[in-house]
Structure 1
Amino acid sequence: MSIVLTAEDLFDQVKKMPINERIKFFSLVAINAFQEADYTHEQVFGHLRNASFSAQEAAEFLEISLPTLRRHVQAGRLKPASIVGRSQLFSSADLKLLKQKINKE
């Protein structure tokens, strides 16, 4: 008879662990799960290709402040892909291009 442990069961058990044991657990997972894997950029970030990012998320991706992001928008270097109410959403492709330009400067 084998016992099947679901992801939810495991998560519940991890939540009950003392903090030091959780740190050890996640360290072991990281070391063993990613030790031999050589993931491509596409495998890790491919699902974000068509994603939209809020202004805050865009600023974090670009590693700039929100006011600096707003200045890029005002200067026309970045255009929102869509506007929902007062919120601007930015495409990942546009953010990637702007990040490349910023990194060249």
Structure 2
Amino acid sequence: MRQITAEDVYLSFIGLPVNERARFFAMLAEPVAQTQNFSHEQVFGHLAGARFTAHEAAEYLGVSIATFRRYVAHGKLRAKEEVGRSQLFATEELKLFKRALQEVRKPRAVSAA
């Protein structure tokens, strides 16, 4: 019987849809999360130079693809490069935009008048 190798696992992993990959990391992190705190850089540092497709970028931002396309159409986000008809978006720009979205979505304190 053939033993599964790390390469087999990796090749299976990269074939998973993005949401399943995220679920996998969440499952791995559960037992470790109580004992260790990882920085954003430690967890996502390998993505620093990565490019996201429109669908991956929309998922990362937590918006629908239609909303994401509106952001692009209105110049709020720009593709870093184009490959054929596909647009690819830079991780750093998406990260900054996500922070801006979170600031807008924060409930604002109402002052007593």
**TM-score of the aligned structures, taking structure 2 as reference length:** 0.64
Matches within 5 A, 1:36-55: 36-55=35-54
- Tell which structure's C-alpha radius of gyration is larger: 1
Say which SS state the counterpart of residue 90 (structure 1) adopts.
strand
Query: What is the match of residue 22 of structure 1?
Result: none
Return the alpha-carbon distance in structure 2 between the equivalents of residues 58 and 47 of structure 1. 16
Q: Which runs of 4+ in 1 moved over 4 A?
A: 27-30
Query: What is the match of residue 17 of structure 1?
Result: none
Long gaps (5+) in structure 1? 1-5, 13-26
Return the alpha-carbon distance in structure 2 between the equivalents of residues 66 and 88 of structure 1. 13
Long gaps (5+) in structure 2? 10-26, 105-113
Query: What is the match of residue 95 of structure 2?
Result: 96
1:8 aligns with 2:5: yes
Matches within 5 A, 1:57-76: 57-76=56-75
Query: What is the match of residue 20 of structure 1?
Result: none
**TM-score of the aligned structures, taking structure 1 as reference length:** 0.69
Q: How many residue pairs end up in the alignment?
A: 84
Return the alpha-carbon distance in structure 1 between the equivalents of residues 30 and 65 of structure 2. 32
Return the alpha-carbon distance in structure 2 between the equivalents of residues 8 and 98 of structure 1. 39
Q: CA deviation at 1:37?
A: 2.0
Equivalent position amino acid for 1:85 in 2: G
Q: Identity across aligned pairs (percent)?
A: 43
Change (3 A) 1:62 1:7: same
Q: Compute the RMSD of aligned alpha carbons.
A: 2.7
